[in-house]
Amino acid sequence: MMKIKSTEIVDTFAEAFKMHGSRIIITAETKEWAMAAAQSVTGFATSVIGCKCEAGIETEIPSEDSPDLRPGVSVLFFAMDSDNLGKRLVERIGQCVMTCPSTACYSGIDEGSEIVVGGQLRYFGDGYQISKKIADKRLWRIPVMDGEFLVDDIFKSKEAVGGGNILILATDQNTALKAAKSAVKAMREIPNIILPFPNGVVRSGSKVGSKYKALIASTNDAYCPTLTSIVEKTEIDADINSVLEIVIDGLTLQAVEEAMHAGIKAAIKPGVKKITAGNYGGGLGQYQIHLHELMKKSQN
């Protein structure tokens, strides 16, 4: 058994999946407008199960480091394949970034598969759009009511990792919330990752399949405190009354592992009895991130 302070680290693994990821950089006249666009473009993007993509804000970008020397926000998108990712980028940038006052939008990845974004959004200009080339990179200037929307012609996507996760098992909801909040804060210090759920945390963890044929996923009953006495198999001890999950998507496996490690360390608090991870027995995901191996790395 591995125990850190009073918290057991369960000898299991998080099962993560191959995905395709992309980074977009949104800039605007002020930080507030850039963030407004970023919050809008990442709305309803918690899980590919129901949202077709997963997205989140990676970090704020100071003016001196942004593509056009204006305040910026970096946003990461993930989908199961490049084609699906491309559709989501065109839809969301068109509806949530181009519509936001003063914004521009740029590709934040230099290498990978090409996705035509600005080249599709340009038609909104109704023939008045203008192509612009800067250092061998094509952009489109699309006329809008406050001036122009500037957007890269091509965005890039690369192979990425989705579904890294930890589960925090605590004596009560308040303890679980405090531990999850600390874990999220630590994870968000790691570059190249996002936590797609609200404030980075999900309470409605899922399992594969359902008694209802129309559903591909349903509640993870083994971790539901109210079901411990009636389900065939529970992972909850008698002193555990709240479980929260944090899901991590990253542009690299290393980034996901670093985020999980940071989150586990930060979540270890009095009242957190166990930290574990969700998996499907190794039969679905391409990556297995073993918690004991992860934590031993920091001890060497």
Q: What is the pLDDT of residues 116-149, one digit of tens each?
A: 999 999 999 999 999 999 888 999 999 999 999 9
- 217-240: average pLDDT: 95
Spell out the residues 6+ positions from residue 282 whose beta carbon is closer than 8 angstroms to its own: 13, 15, 288
pLDDT over threshold 90, residue 237: yes
Distance of alpha carbon 67 from alpha carbon 255, whole angstroms: 24
What pLDDT was estimated at residue 233?
93
Reported as type and span, the H/E element at residue 40 is helix 31-41
Question: What is the CATH code for 19-158?
Answer: 3.30.70.520
Please report, as a single letter, which amino acid is at residue 272. Answer: V
Share of the chain above pLDDT 70, in %: 99
pLDDT over threshold 90, residue 157: yes
Distance of alpha carbon 26 from alpha carbon 13, whole angstroms: 35
Distance of alpha carbon 95 from alpha carbon 80, whole angstroms: 22
- Please give the C-alpha separations between residue 198 and each of 42, 72, 161, 209, in angstroms, as whole numbers: 11, 21, 20, 24
Domain with CATH 3.30.70.520 in the chain: 2-15+161-297, 19-158
Distance of alpha carbon 24 from alpha carbon 81, whole angstroms: 17
Question: What is the CATH code for 2-15+161-297?
Answer: 3.30.70.520
Share of the chain above pLDDT 90, in %: 95
Backbone angles phi, psi at 158, to 5 degrees: -135, 160
What pLDDT was estimated at residue 280?
87
Q: What is the dihedral of CA 106, 110, 115, 120, to 10 degrees?
A: 30
What pLDDT was estimated at residue 270?
98
pLDDT over threshold 80, residue 177: yes
Please report, as a single letter, which amino acid is at residue 43. Answer: G
What pLDDT was estimated at residue 298?
66
Mean of pLDDT over the chain: 96
What pLDDT was estimated at residue 297?
80
What pLDDT was estimated at residue 284?
85
pLDDT over threshold 70, residue 299: no
Q: What is the pLDDT of residues 21-75, one digit of tens each?
A: 999 999 999 999 999 999 999 999 999 999 999 999 999 999 999 999 999 999 9
Q: What is the pLDDT of residues 275-297, one digit of tens each?
A: 999 998 888 899 999 999 999 98
Cα angle: 208, vertex 210, 212; to 5 degrees: 150
Distance of alpha carbon 75 from alpha carbon 178, whole angstroms: 26
Reported as type and span, the H/E element at residue 31 is helix 31-41
